[in-house]
Structure 1
Amino acid sequence: MWALHARYRGRDTRRAELVKRFAEALSTLEGAGQFEVIGVEDIRAHITSPLTTCDVVMALLAAGDWAIGIGVIPTVDGTVDESDEAIIEQVKKISSDALRPTAKAGTVKVRIAGTKRDNTQAFNISAAFTLIGQVLSKRTIEGREATALVRSGLNQNEAAQELGISKQAMSQRLQAAGWQAESAGWQLAVNLIEQAGKR
């Protein structure tokens, strides 16, 4: 089982409203529990799949103003009884413990139950997201539009039509946006998070 705790580190003057909107939007993702708002800047939820965990982290990294903590409780087959409130609260606490009070925007820290704090698996997951975050931070508005369309399931031709550009221009936008690096990094992160969830 996985959980995620994120803290808003941006400068928006209406941060409480922004944080609440993020919590509501992320709660709609399949596999994400209800994101609770903690205080003014923090949101937290348990998550039922490595895929959804990565999708939530990617959304927060793309926004650019969030520090993120991921908590993991490994199980024999990677699944947990979702009705077990004690385990859900435990994994949420682990995600909160992973997130240091002084964490900066764009950082992703991971803590895995039953392991040492300097766990290699946790470090590898954090490193994968650091690399993905670097790609996302260099992206232009056009690159964000192009990658968002492809990530939503459109092929390059469909995405190009949606944007009113040629297939060649779409291909160039995706290349400049680091789409291949993002895709590879995302798959790596999913694999690492899935492995961390199994004993």
Structure 2
Amino acid sequence: MFAVHARYRGRERRRADLVRRSAEALSTLHGVGTFELLGVEDICAVIDSAEAVTDTTMALLSAGDWAIGIGVAPGTDVDHAEVRKLATTAIGRRCRTGVVRVRSRDGGDMGDIAAVFALLAHVLAKRTTEGREATQLMRGGMNQNEAAAELGISKQAMSQRLAAAGWSAETSGWKLAVGLLHRAEGGSDATT
């Protein structure tokens, strides 16, 4: 079982509204439970699958201005409060925007998971508006031809946008993050 704790570190004047809206939007992601508001800047949710944790973390990294803590509790006998506390402890007091920290119940080294998310954050930060549009359609399940038609561009232009946006690096990083999270939870690596 996993938990994601996110802390808003941006400069939005109406930060409480932005944090509330973000919690509501993240709660609609497939496989994600309800994000609870933990004050003006903090939100947290217990999440059952490695895929949903990865999707949630990437959404927060794409949005920017968030520091992220992930709690991992291997095994089947897991208390929701315990995994939430792991995520909150992972984020720490002096968290920085765009940084993902991971803490496990068994104290195992979670540096590899954090490193994958650091690389994904770099890819996401370099993306243009056109690249975000193209990758969002692909992530939504469209193939390149369908996405190109949706955007009103040629298949070749779509391919160029995806290459410039680092789509292949994102998909490889996503699979690696999911696999590492599965292993950390004590399950098999379902992505290989």
Deviations 1:53-83 (A, max 9, x none): 00000100000111000001111xxxx36xx
Which fold has the larger relative contact order, with Cα–Cα distance below 8 Å and residues 6 or more apart in sequence? 1
The CA deviation at 1:27 is: 1.1
Paired residues for 1:56-135 under 5 Å: 56-75=56-75, 80=76, 87-115=79-107, 119-120=108-109, 122-135=110-123
TM (norm. structure 1) is 0.91
Cα offset, 1:30, TM superposition: 2.7
1:91-128 superposed Cα distances (whole Å, 9 cap, x missing partner): 0011000002221110000000021xxx43x0000000
Structure 2 CA distance for aligned equivalents of residues 89 and 26 of structure 1: 20
| Corresponding residue pairs, total | 187
Tell whether 2:35 aligns with 1:43. no
Task: State percent identity of aligned pairs.
Answer: 58
Partner residue in 2 for 1:195: 183
Q: Could you tell me how far 1:33 is from its partner in structure 2?
A: 1.6
After TM superposition, the score normalised by the length of structure 2 is 0.94
- 2-structure distance, mates of 1:133, 1:92: 23
Structure 2 stretches of 5 or more lacking a match? 188-192
Task: Measure the CA separation in 1 of the matches of 2:33 and 2:136.
Answer: 23
Does the alignment pair 1:147 with 2:135? yes
Partner of 2:169: 181
- Which secondary structure state, in structure 2, belongs to the residue aligned with residue 31 of structure 1? coil
Q: How many Å separate the matches in 1 of 2:160 and 2:148?
A: 11
Distance 1:140 1:9 in 2: 22
Amino acid at match of 1:39: G
In structure 2, how many angstroms separate the alpha carbons of the residues matched to 1:17 and 1:73? 31
1:34 positional shift:
1.1
d(CA) in 1 for partners of 2:173 and 2:138?
16
Tell me the equivalent position of 1:137: 125
In structure 2, what is the Cα distance between the partners aligned to 1:33 and 1:161?
A: 33
Q: Give the gaps of 5 or more residues in structure 1.
A: none
Give the Å deviation of 1:29: 2.0
What is the Cα deviation at residue 44 of structure 1? Answer: 0.2
Q: Distance in 1 between matches of 2:123 and 2:34?
A: 29
Q: CA deviation at 1:31?
A: 2.0
Q: Secondary structure at the match of 1:45?
A: strand
Answer yes or no: is 1:31 the counterpart of 2:36. Answer: no
Structure 2 CA distance, aligned partners of 1:183 and 1:143?
14
Partner of 2:190: none
